[in-house]
Amino acid sequence: MNIDLEKLQQNWQKKRIAILGFGKEGRDTFLFLRKLFPKKVIGIADRRESLKLKAQSAKSKLETEDFKNIKWHTGIDYLKELKDYDVIIKSPGIPFKVLPKSQLTKITTQTEIFFNNCPGTIVGITGTKGKSTTAFWIYQTLKKGGIKAYLLGNIGRPVLGLLSKAEKKDVFVYELSSHQLYSLRKSPQIAVFLNIYPEHLDYYRNFAEYVRAKANITKHQNSKDYLIYNSEDITVKKIIKKSKAKKIPIKGKYYELNEAASAAVAGIFKVPVLKRFKTLPHRLEYVGNFKGIEFYNDSLSTVPETTIEALDFLGSRVETLVLGGFDRKLDFKDLAKRIEKSRVKNLILFPTTGKRIKKDIKKKNINHFFVKTMREAVKIAYGRTDKGKICLLSPASPSFGIFKDYADRGEQFKRFVKMLK
């Protein structure tokens, strides 16, 4: 166990600790606490009524013995008992705005615990879009360069299980969402700031609060730290003016920006820049050429700005565009203007934003098709897209409603493209 963890163990020895949210990260937190405090009673608060049964039967690292000395708080009133605890470790999916103000000073997170107790170097990556790919490519670059690197966050493993073995020479490539950054009072030694678009506005009180959360990636950096930032993003440029870190500007569209960020990190660590990268699914993923049509799966494009970038990246051969999904009240006017300037002939539109997008497009010679299933969407794409052209799924909207999540939407698209060929 590293020295910092021994201090944490001493500080929390007599404190009452609760885990708020018991998904993947919450379970990792539980295992971490069990190693530090084998006999301590730990509180677990989660809205799900059947949580205890699900957790006990889950195929995870949790064993029957681990479930002794637990106090469960489940169901609609799961937040009420938090007043009885001294430390509350919150999972990212639970918004701060739903918590009683009296409890906020007790709140910490996995990310905060990791940052405060990690002896190695942290490379933190954030942005509304592109952070998963960038984190993955930076990790590949460092590993190929002979550096002992770990991939953490949404794309990688939960973080606390690594702390007991972490060493000063280790490098932790950490994909950081706004939820993980929200209350952070320490920034990574190397920060990568890709972009900011309106997103997750159902989670935050307003866009300004979302921006403040993202800004924490550099807010606490010092003159020895590095900040790699997108010099073409207006909001990012405003934020980085207050940063004390050494600033490295980058620019580019879609994968160009990911590559530029990876090259900048390679330069800091003095390792070779990779020329070829493995790409991730659902991020402008090439599905294949079927019946002379090229299909691209960009299901992770959940805001209009990234659909615009996808159109810029793929160019004039995009003839059919699949759009629409859950309505988070985003503005589609700029996307509509970009579509009007493109050579897109066919729009295949899912509810509920599909109708809003169509309404914003004034150009008359674009075909519109409203659909409710991915099978129907792909069937229309095959019937309407010319050989040598591209059909692009880039919804500009979240997936909730018809699909389980963006991955389900993307997998359905790929499956029907191959099934109906």
Give residue 29's pLDDT band: very low, low, confident or very high (50, 70, 90). very high
Residue 97 to residue 142: CA distance in whole angstroms: 38
The confidence score (pLDDT) of residue 59 equals 47
Architecture in CATH for domain 112-269: 3-Layer(aba) Sandwich (3.40)
The confidence score (pLDDT) of residue 2 equals 66
The CATH class of 15-91 is: alpha beta
Which uninterrupted H or E stretch holds 190?
A: strand 190-193
Q: Using CA of residue 347, residue 352, residue 357, residue 358, what is the dihedral sign?
A: positive
Q: Kindly list the distances between the CA atom of residue 195 and the CA atoms of 227, 237, 240, 327, 336, in Å, as whole numbers in the listed order.
A: 13, 9, 12, 21, 21
Question: What is this structure's pTM?
Answer: 0.84
The confidence score (pLDDT) of residue 201 equals 66
Give residue 64's pLDDT band: very low, low, confident or very high (50, 70, 90). low
- Residue of 79, 89, 81, 140 whose CA lies nearest to 112: 89
Residue 66 to residue 55: CA distance in whole angstroms: 11
The confidence score (pLDDT) of residue 63 equals 54
The residue behind tokens 């000395």 is 69
Architecture in CATH for domain 285-419: Alpha-Beta Complex (3.90)
- Tens digit of pLDDT for each residue in 315-324? 999 999 999 9
| DSSP, res 279 | P
Give residue 57's pLDDT band: very low, low, confident or very high (50, 70, 90). very low
Domain extents for the chain?
15-91, 112-269, 285-419
Give residue 255's pLDDT band: very low, low, confident or very high (50, 70, 90). confident
135 and 156 Cβ atoms separated by less than 8 Å? yes
- Tens digit of pLDDT for each residue in 128-175? 989 999 999 999 999 999 999 999 987 767 789 888 889 999 999 999
